Amino acid sequence: MGEGIKLPVLNGLGRTNRIDNWWSQPMAMGIGLTAALLYTFWRLFLYDADISYALHGSTVMSPIFSPNVLEWNLFGLNEWNHPEWVNAAILVLWIPFGFRGTCYYMRRVYYRTFFASPTACWVDEPDINKAIGYKGEKRLFIFNNLHRYFLYAAMVILVIKWWDVTHTMHFHSATHDGYGVSIGTFVMGIEAFLLTMYVTSCHALRHLAGGMLDRWTTGISRVRGVLFGKISVLNRSHGFWFWTSLIFVFLGDLWVLAVAEGRLSDMVLFVV
Ligand code: FES
């Protein structure tokens, strides 16, 4: 049934019978991802100053440079006489990059925006795509299969993000002594919250929680079934959490940069 039926598709890159602005979403996403890559490159390799600031003894760390492993006494890292161009982000960013780069939602975005494969529903793709055809996740794309391992590493980063939030809440100066909240706490707290939502709505986490089981009938499997259901609800908005958490990484970094350079001021809202 249906064999030999030709859909009324117009041939040629971007040609379609669609009358809506089908190109606006992939274009906006392409611009967003390109801007994110350029900004990250600038911060990593061209301007890695002002990665944190202190406020009455608390520390607010840029999300791009967290965790600042060069400050940790981990494998003697804080004593390592590293080359000048090495910074914390260069050592750690492969985790969020790997996690986001192999994300199921991200794959959909970059296949459409950068490879036009597919360009969009009912919109023709470039001839080169037709010539190559779909080869599956082979060669470079085989790395996509590592997503679940990046998830484990991202969970560790997530815990450290919340640890960073606690560092914004501990004040010890002549005028402020105790635990409290500053604007920086809110900025870092929102960033950590959005990242939490992004990680907990992950397809691989859903599979890990209960998707890998055949049935959820007894004992622990029943609990895992419930967990699967809960993550499935979050998973419906995975794209939303992807973008908001990504945007807040850069807003958080801009905030830290602006305060560290004296362009904006942070303030303690309350201390107890
Ligand atoms: Fe997107 Fe796992 S599928 S983070």
pLDDT in tens, the chain (272 residues): 556 666 657 787 778 888 999 999 999 999 999 999 999 999 999 999 999 999 999 999 999 999 888 888 777 777 777 888 889 999 999 999 999 999 999 999 999 999 998 888 888 888 888 888 877 778 888 899 999 999 999 999 999 999 999 999 999 999 999 999 999 999 999 999 999 999 999 999 999 999 999 999 999 999 999 999 999 999 999 999 999 999 999 999 999 999 999 999 999 999 99
Atom of ligand 1 nearest to the CA of 242: 1
Q: What is the reported pTM?
A: 0.91
Q: Which atom of ligand 1 is nearest to the CA of 199?
A: 4
Q: Is residue 219 part of a domain?
A: no
Query: Could you tell me if residue 7 is inside a domain?
Result: no
- 209 within domain boundaries: no
Q: How far is the CA of 187 from the centre of ligand 1 (A)?
A: 23
Query: What does the pLDDT look like over 180-204, one tens digit per residue?
Result: 999 999 999 999 999 999 999 999 9
Atom 1 (ligand 1) nearest CA? 103
Ligand 1 atom closest to Cα of 100? 4
Instruction: Give dist(CA 85, CA 27) in Å, integer.
Output: 34
Please return the burial class of 256, using the count of CB atoms within 10 Å of its CB with bins 0-12, 13-18 and 19+.
buried
Cα-to-centroid distance, 73 and ligand 1 (Å): 31
Residue 30 CB burial class (10 angstroms; 0-12, 13-18, ≥19): middle
The number of beta carbons lying within 10 Å of the beta carbon of residue 118 is 15
Q: What distances in angstroms separate CA 264 from CA 53, 55, 93, one per listed residue?
A: 12, 13, 27
Mark 122-158 as b/e (b = at least 16 C-beta within 10 Å): ebbbeeebeeeeeeeeeeeeeeeeebeebbebbeebb
Q: Is residue 57 a part of any domain in this protein?
A: yes
Assess if residue 152 is contained within a domain: yes
Q: How far is the CA of 22 from the centre of ligand 1 (A)?
A: 25
CA–centroid distance, 142 to ligand 1, in Å, is 16
- Supply φ then ψ for residue 135, to 5 degrees: -105, 5
Distance (Å) from CA 94 to ligand 1 centroid: 15
pLDDT of residue 129: 87
Compute the residue count for the chain.
272
Q: Of all atoms in ligand 1, which is nearest to the CA of residue 204?
A: 2
Overall number of domains in the chain: 1
- Say how far apart CA 209 and CA 229 lie, in whole Å: 9
Q: How far is the centre of ligand 1, averaged over its atoms, from the C-alpha of 209 (Å)?
A: 14
For CA atoms 128, 129, 135, 136, the dihedral sign is positive
Residue 103 CA: nearest ligand 1 atom is 1
Q: What is the pLDDT of residue 7?
A: 60
Question: What token pair was written down for 45?
Answer: 């390799």
Sequence-separated (6 or more) residues with CB below 8 Å from residue 87? 44, 48, 51, 65, 70
Pocket-forming residues, ligand 1, beta carbon under 6 Å: 103-105, 147, 202-204, 238
For residue 77, the model assigns a pLDDT of: 74
Asked, for residue 187, whether it belongs to a domain, the answer is yes
CA of 105 to the centre of ligand 1 (A): 6
Q: Which ligand 1 atom minimizes the distance to the CA of 99?
A: 4
Domain containing 50 equals: 24-201+237-271
Non-local CB neighbours of 23 within 8 Å, separated by 6+ positions: 14, 120
* 220-252: pLDDT as tens digits: 999 999 999 999 999 999 999 999 999 999 999
* Residue 225 within any structural domain of the chain: no
Is residue 131 in a domain? yes
Residue ranges of E strands in the chain? 52-55, 58-61, 170-172, 177-182, 268-271
How many beta carbons lie within 10 A of that of residue 219, not counting itself? Answer: 8
